[in-house]
Copies of this chain bind each other. A is one copy, B any other.
Amino acid sequence: MAKEKKQPRPKAETPRGFRDYFGAEVLERQEMLAKIAETYQRYGFDPLETSAVETVEALGKFLPDTDRPNEGVFAWQEEEDGGWVALRYDMTAPLARVAAQYRNDLPSPYRRYTFGPVWRNEKPGPGRFRQFYQCDADTVGAASVAADAEICAMLSDTLEAVGIPRGDYVVRVNNRKVLDGVLATIGLSSEDEATRQAVLRTIDKFDKVGREGVIQLLTKGRLDESGAYIDGVGLDAAAADQIVAFLLARADSNAETLVMLRKLIGTSAIGEAGVAELETIATLLDAQGYGPDRIVIDPSVVRGLGYYTGPVFEAELTFEILDDKGRPRQFGSVAGGGRYDDLVKRFTGQDVPATGVSIGVDRLLAALRAKGRISGAMQGPVVVTVMDRDRMADYQAMATELRNAGIRAEVYLGNPKNFGNQLKYADKRESPVAVIQGSDEAARGVVQIKDLILGAKIAANASLEEWKAQPAQREVARGDLVAEIRAILERQG
Are A346 and B396 neighbours in the complex by a CB distance under 8 Å? no
Nearest CB of chain B from residue A150's CB, rounded to whole Å: 7
Give the distance in Å from the alpha carbon of A44 to the alpha carbon of B153 in the complex.
40
CA of A193 to CA of B98, assembled, Å: 50
Say if the beta carbon of A487 comes within 8 Å of chain B: no
Interface of A is mostly: mixed
A11 at the interface (CB under 8 A from B): yes
A1 in complex: contacting residue of B1, B193, B408, CB < 8 Å: B193
| Residues in A83-127 with C-beta less than 8 Å from chain B | 83, 85, 87, 97-98, 100-102, 107-109, 111, 117, 119, 121, 123
As for how many copies of this chain the complex holds, the number is 2
Contact B107 A429 (CB under 8 A): yes
Chain A window 373-417, contacts with chain B (Cβ cutoff 8 Å), 1 for yes, 0 for no: 000001001010000000011101100100100111111111100
Measured in the bound complex, the distance between the Cα atoms of B383 and A23 in whole Å is 40
Asked whether, in the complex, the Cβ of A23 is within 8 Å of the Cβ of B47, the reply is yes
Q: Are A46 and B378 touching (Cβ within 8 A)? A: yes
Task: Name A141's closest neighbour in chain B (CB-CB).
Answer: B414
Which bracket fits the contact residues of A?
Answer: 35 or more
| Interface contacts beyond A10-B55, A42-B406: sample of 4 additional A-B pairs, CB < 8 Å, sorted by A | A12-B98, A13-B58, A13-B97, A108-B425
Which positions in A face B, CB cutoff 8 Å? 1-2, 9-16, 18-23, 25-27, 30, 41-44, 46-55, 57-58, 60, 74-76, 78-80, 83, 85, 87, 97-98, 100-102, 107-109, 111, 117, 119, 121, 123, 130-131, 139, 141-144, 146-147, 149-150, 153, 157, 193, 283-284, 286-289, 346-349, 378, 381, 383, 392-394, 396-397, 400, 403, 406-415, 425, 428-429
